[in-house]
Amino acid sequence: MDIEETHLHCPNWTDANEEILTGPFNYLYHHPGKDFRKFMVESFNKILKVSTNDLHKIEQVIDILHCSSLLIDDVEDDALLRRGIPAAHTVYGVPITINSSNYMYFKAFEILKTLANLESFTVFNEEMLNLHRGQGLDLYWRETLTCPTEPEYCEMVMNKTGGLFRLAIRLMLSNSSIAKAYPIASSLLIKLINLFGIIYQIKDDYLNLQSDNYENNKGFCEDISEGKFSFIIIHAIRFNLNNKEVISILKQKTKDKSLKIYMLNYMQNVSNSFKYCEQTLSILTKKAESLINQIEIEFQITDRSITSDLYLILKKLASI
């Protein structure tokens, strides 16, 4: 084709070009996690009864956004491992990994366009904003060494972690006739998914510092190396604000194992932060159980098999 005629047609895009752009995304996508989000969506759908076709599209959107957000997370955290393999940006480089992630956000939006309900666009935009707000605050606290309060942390988590959970449920609500018939009950589902997000993240913070499985998949106490203000680290710092040991170690973003072990011992034996985390999870679990009970009442659910998976999700989320 003559270069002078290029402007006369729409831009040409080939499968080979597509493969180049989606390389980092596909690399991580083909090493899947536990598929928790799919199970969660299907569990809520026992109540909402979204059509199989629409539900599949919603699951696709959430899958793409989740995987794409992990690519960005690993770049921003300078992570070396994800799901037990080298992080995508260490294989493909930072620039193309960022571009691949951003590109896939819009591919998710393309799927969303096939849903009939126009409210889905508003929901998508609102929760994508929330996702970036949460991520932005988390990064700001880390980069400025600003220790948030527990309520501030939970608000951030409802956006960063809970954003995708909430997006899934809100998309389902937008495409469910049952949700429209039970508006009060539907609002309880949002409260429950917010609580699920907080429980999920607090447990994740706990396991990051305690679990051998996490060490194999992401590295030893990676939150300390990232300088992250996780729930358990926030408690350790605020336990005694006059003691600067924990925040000083965190500031270094150290990979020194002996320093990490020293910090762990402080959290285990001095601030009792691990025990506090366990107690908090227990309290939040009871709140979630109460919410599920309210949901059963408001939706007039008499068959407990409809909500049994919600209790199962809660058990999996909270168990440590």
Residue 287 clears pLDDT 60, i.e. is over it? yes
Cα–Cα distance for residue pair 175/41, rounded to 1 Å: 13
Q: What is the pLDDT of residues 84-132, one digit of tens each?
A: 899 999 999 999 999 999 999 999 999 998 887 889 999 999 999 999 9
How does residue 33 score in pLDDT terms, banded at 50, 70 and 90? confident
Query: Among residues of the chain, what percentage have pLDDT more than 90?
Result: 81
For residues 253 and 225, the answer to whether their CB atoms sit within 8 Å is: yes
Question: Closest by alpha carbon to 50, among 2, 100, 120, 108?
Answer: 120
Q: Which pLDDT score is estimated for 10?
A: 67
Q: What is the pLDDT of residues 150-160, one digit of tens each?
A: 999 999 999 99
Alpha carbon 238 to its chain's center:
25
> What is each CA distance from 31 to 23, 84, 85, 87, 227, in whole angstroms?
13, 9, 8, 11, 26
Considering the chain, what is the average pLDDT of its residues? 92
- How much is the average pLDDT of 258-283? 96
Query: Among residues of the chain, what percentage have pLDDT more than 70?
Result: 94
How does residue 9 score in pLDDT terms, banded at 50, 70 and 90? low
More confident site: 270 or 7: 270
Residue 245 clears pLDDT 90, i.e. is over it? yes
- CATH 3.20.20.70 for domain 21-318, yes or no, is no
By the 10 Å C-beta count (0-12 exposed, 13-18 middle, 19+ buried), 267 is classed as: buried
Cα–Cα distance for residue pair 298/191, rounded to 1 Å: 14
Cα–Cα distance for residue pair 235/253, rounded to 1 Å: 18
Question: Closest by alpha carbon to 210, among 192, 191, 224?
Answer: 224
Q: Which pLDDT score is estimated for 7?
A: 60
Residue 2 clears pLDDT 80, i.e. is over it? no
Q: Which pLDDT score is estimated for 272?
A: 97
Half-sphere exposure of residue 57: CA atoms within 13 angstroms, side-chain side: 18
3-state secondary structure of 81: strand
Question: Closest by alpha carbon to 308, among 37, 50, 47, 34?
Answer: 47
Half-sphere exposure of residue 62: CA atoms within 13 angstroms, side-chain side: 28
Residue 60 clears pLDDT 80, i.e. is over it? yes
- E strand or H helix that includes residue 39: helix 36-48
Cα–Cα distance for residue pair 242/286, rounded to 1 Å: 34
Q: Which pLDDT score is estimated for 217?
A: 58
- How much is the average pLDDT of 134-138? 96
How does residue 35 score in pLDDT terms, banded at 50, 70 and 90? confident
Q: What is the pLDDT of residues 186-220, one digit of tens each?
A: 999 999 999 999 999 999 999 999 876 665 656 68
Which of these ranges, 79-83, 235-239, 243-247, has the smallest mean pLDDT? 79-83
Q: What is the pLDDT of residues 145-185, one digit of tens each?
A: 999 999 999 999 999 999 999 999 999 999 999 999 999 99
